[in-house]
Amino acid sequence: MTDEHQPEQTLLEQALAQPEQELRKRKIRSFVLREGRLTKGQEKAMTEQWPVMGLEYQPQLIDLDAVFNRAAPRVLEIGFGMGGSLVEMAKVAPELDYLGIEVHTPGVGACLMAAAEAKITNLRVMCHDAVEVFEHMLPEQSLDRVQLFFPDPWHKTRHHKRRIVQPAFVEMLRSKLKIGGEFHMATDWENYAEHMLEVMQAAPGYVNASTEGDYMPRPDYRPLTKFEQRGHRLGHGVWDLIFTRTE
């Protein structure tokens, strides 16, 4: 992921240096696991706020109404980085419930710290592989929108299979969206945007929300990050795609 989402490649490089037979034993992941070192503030937030806003992974369906203590439209974000944008979205839309998934522990700590400072109550976070959460924890037709902003582009051709936007994943994701629910993607890698568009156009049960059949202007609900502002000044592009579940 870019900017606050930018992945480190060290673990991947180490894995690729191992014998091929060892690699075959490894499950392909759409992320690089980075534990990192928590700041004192992040560590304090994990200790104090995780019992309030954190959700532990469990291989069984969860009751989101019970999790949020209400029934409301639900938005799930995959890979929220340091959580700044997610917290901002939850703050300005208290009528929505937000669930964020991130594998980077310092990012989870930073998100919890910001959420506590903003005094928001409509956010829950998980620190786990999003694919397994979708497979085992999310009920059918439980989400109104899924967000995937600036995921790891895996720009090398031999790593494209690690991109999370793949036919099998978007089909599994579709079953978790309500009819009329949206899958919103954004990337600053044109090649990945083209890949996303190709996968989604071929995916059954979705329709492109773009009247042009390709990309969308950035919706107001997606905050403009400092990274994007800098990129715009340098002439870099950002591509938003929104696909709606039709069946």
Name the residues annotated as catalytic: 152
Q: Do you know the residue count of the chain?
A: 247
**How far apart are the C-alpha atoms of 109 and 35, rounded to whole Å?**
11
**How far apart are the C-alpha atoms of 246 and 41, rounded to whole Å?**
44
Strands 206-208 and 177-187: unpaired
Tokens of 151: 């995921």
**How far apart are the C-alpha atoms of 239 and 221, rounded to whole Å?**
15
Asked if 36 contacts 103 with a C-beta cutoff of 8 angstroms, the reply is: no
Cβ neighbors of 211 (< 8 A, separation 6 or more) are none
